Every structure is written in structure tokens, then in C-alpha cells.
Amino acid sequence: MGKESDKFIVAIGKGLAELERDFNASQTVIEEAVTIFSEWQMAEQSAAIILNDTYKGDEDQADNDPKYKKLVDEAARLKPQAERVEQQSDRLIRLVDTNKRALLKLVGDFETYVKQKEKSKNPFKKKSVGSSKKFIEATKKAINDLQ
């Protein structure tokens, strides 16, 4: 269909690459967040068990227990990391969603362009419409598969 069609295809290709990069980054951060949250929760729960079971809730006595103190310190150290990773994860998820919407809009614009060319009387333009439609469907599927 020509230069205009090529511009759409190049832009969509770049958008897909960017979307994939951001999606993979978000998955890595989410995995890191799950690990840190698990470690943080484990430290807090273990400290709570020692406090309640061994010292009947008396924090003054529990503070003298090195194991309890170590768990409390570990939980305190992990909490800011967990919050930071959660914020980073949320930011990347929003970025992926924004990129998906922008890419779907671009694909929609290309689809509109293809439909206009489909109405053309030129047989060469009509022939390339079929491959463009396949490209559009494959692109939409690729975008929607990133969940």
C-alpha cells in the first residue's frame, strides 16, 4: 500500500518492541516484589510468634531476645524495600497499560487507513489490504496476550 502503510508498520513494530520491553521489566519487578514481601511478612510473623508465644506480648522482655530483635530489625529493613518495589511495580504496570492503549490506538488508525484503501478501485492496493488485515489481527493478538 505504500509509504503511508510502511510508516504505520514501522511505528507499530517499534511500539510492540517497547511494550514487550516494559512488560518484561514489570514482570521482573513483580517477581522481586513478591520475594521481598514474602521475606518481610515472614520476618514480621516470626517476630510476632516469638513475642506472643514466648513472652506473652511483653515487648520489653522480647527486646532482650536476640532472635526476636534480629527478626524485628530484618522486618524494619525489608519494609522500605517492599514499599519501593511496590511503587516501581505499580509505575511499570501503569506504563504498560498506557503503552498498550497507545499501540491499540495506532493499530486502530492503521485499520481505518486500510479500510479506506480497501474501497480503492486500484487492484494493487486491494491486494495489499489482505496482508495488512492479517498484520493488524496478529498485532492485536500480541498486545492482548501481554496480560
What average pLDDT does the structure give for the chain? 91
How far apart are alpha carbons 13 and 11 in whole angstroms? 5
Whole-structure pTM value? 0.78
Cell numbers found for residue 109? 488508525
pLDDT in tens, 71-126: 999 999 999 999 999 999 999 999 999 999 999 999 999 999 888 888 877 766 66
Q: Which residue stretches of 50-65 are H helix?
A: 59-62
Domain chopping of the chain, boundaries? 3-104
Our CA angle for 112, 117, 121, nearest 5°, is 150
How far apart are alpha carbons 109 and 111 in whole angstroms? 5
DSSP state of 55: S
Question: In this model, does residue 127 exceed pLDDT 70?
Answer: no
